[in-house]
Amino acid sequence: MSLGSPKTMASFSLRLYQLVSELSTMSLGRKAGDMVVILALHCSPETSESRRNYQEEEITMFLKVQLPWNVIIAAENLQPESLMLQRSIVICLLSDFAIKKATKDLGYYLAVTTLETIGEGKVRLHTGDVLFPVVFNAITFKILKGEILEGVVHKVLKHGVFMRCGPIENVYLSNLKMPGYHYVPGENPCFMNEKMSKVGKDVRVRFVVIGTKWMEAEREFQALVSLEGDYLGPISSPDI
């Protein structure tokens, strides 16, 4: 029986939720661990069918995508039992997915949601490793111009602040894009307006994205944002 046959995949879907609980305790790295949790929430049979018919669907800054992937299982990890082999494929897929980090077109890789198919394995010459082509659904995060998002300030400079927004570390808000705010130096520098509203370290800020840039070498995005607009600005602070 092929690993990718409908009968085998249906049986696998019924057992995958149970396997996820075990996988989440393994050392797969922080991102892979997060993915395991989301995989557990979305891999049940009653929800998987509704996710089969899309290739790519945009939901604000999140994308649902269907991706082909090649998973390589080392010869010493091959198991004769079908379910154990599928378990090894899932572990390798989650690990590879986390390492990939991001792409220019799809943004940051966040989570595997459902495993659609597992193709026939092909033995690699000289090593004995087996390559399995798989197709799976996933969620990615891509910041887009014009979106209204929130971030947390982690660095304050004289000419602006840097924020984190989801997996993006470098979201820059220039003082030129903070109308009514002025820089206040000191031990805990910040930007403040006449209403005593502050943009400082650990403050959560709502902003609009005005530009993004993909950094190929670092495999990450940078973003320029603004507070010019209605209902934008600090929405919480560590003092509250």
> For 39-87, how does the pLDDT look when each residue is reduced to its tens digit (9 = 90+)?
333 333 333 333 333 333 333 578 999 999 999 998 877 776 767 888 8
Burial of 208 (0-12, 13-18, 19+ CB in 10 A): middle
Please report the pLDDT score of residue 82 as a whole number: 67
* CA–CA separation, 14 and 111 (whole Å): 20
Q: Which of 181, 179, 160, 167 lies closest to 224 in space, CA to CA?
A: 160
Phi (first) and psi of residue 150, to 5 degrees: -125, 145
The owner of tokens 């980090």 is: 101
Q: Going from the first residue of the chain to its last (240 residues), give the mean pLDDT of each consecutive group of 10, the final group possibly shorter.
A: 48 43 38 36 35 36 91 81 81 91 93 92 88 94 93 96 95 97 95 95 96 94 96 80
Q: What region does 57 belong to: left with phi over 0, alpha with psi -120 to 50, or beta? A: beta
Phi, psi at residue 220, to the nearest 5°? Answer: -150, 165
